[in-house]
Amino acid sequence: MEEVEERFSSKALEDFRLIDMAVDGDEKAYAKLLQRYRRPVYHVILKMVRNVDDAEDLTIESFAKAFRSLSRFKKDFTFSTWLFRIATNNTIDFIRKKKLNTLSIENTYTDDNGDSVSIDVEDKNLNPQEEAIKAQKEEIIQVFVNMLPSKYQKLVRLRYFSELSYEEIAVELEAPLGTVKAQLHRARELMYDLVKNKKEHI
């Protein structure tokens, strides 16, 4: 223990204490960790995706993933380093998935000069890694969705599971875009609240 105290700052040691308390079931410890790092994580993600709505979604996912794995956290490095690594890796997966996946078909035909021309067609199938990421994300979010009021559950499922854009959700629900964004924002706030104390007070 003395070696740990010598290696880390007082803030890092406080994080370790909160982690031990959270793993033992102290809900207030989760709340303190969330309060301490929510804004920094959000700003790091926002710099990567440059979209407020996506950054808020990814912040929720990052904390959900971190809290689910908290019992496996090793005190070989700071909690903030571990948390930011989870957040950035999750965001990189998101960015990679949003980019157009193409499947190259070589030597399909030759042009007038006799050169072979390849055709790129969109590959809409997820590779095994992407399928695993999607399944894991759905499993994490499902825990929180089931605890939301029913009026928010469909909205969240369309956003996280069906992966519809805000515009597509508005069309699907025949609701104004502004209403969809406002209600999803409220749903995210409720999910943050559930992460913090898991009380059925909504």
pLDDT, position 134: 59
Percent of the chain at pLDDT > 90 equals: 10
Q: What is the CATH number of domain 127-202?
A: 1.10.10.10
* Portions of the chain given CATH number 1.10.1740.10: 1-99
Q: What is the pLDDT of residues 2-58, one digit of tens each?
A: 556 677 889 889 999 999 998 888 888 888 898 899 889 999 998 888 888 888 888
Query: What residue has token string 């199938």?
Result: 125
Q: Which CATH number fits domain 1-99: 2.60.120.1440, 2.40.40.20, 1.10.1740.10, 1.10.287.70?
A: 1.10.1740.10
Q: Decide: 122 and 156 in contact? Cβ < 8 Å.
A: no
pTM as predicted: 0.58
Confidence of residue 60 (pLDDT cuts 50, 70, 90): confident
* Portions of the chain given CATH number 1.10.10.10: 127-202
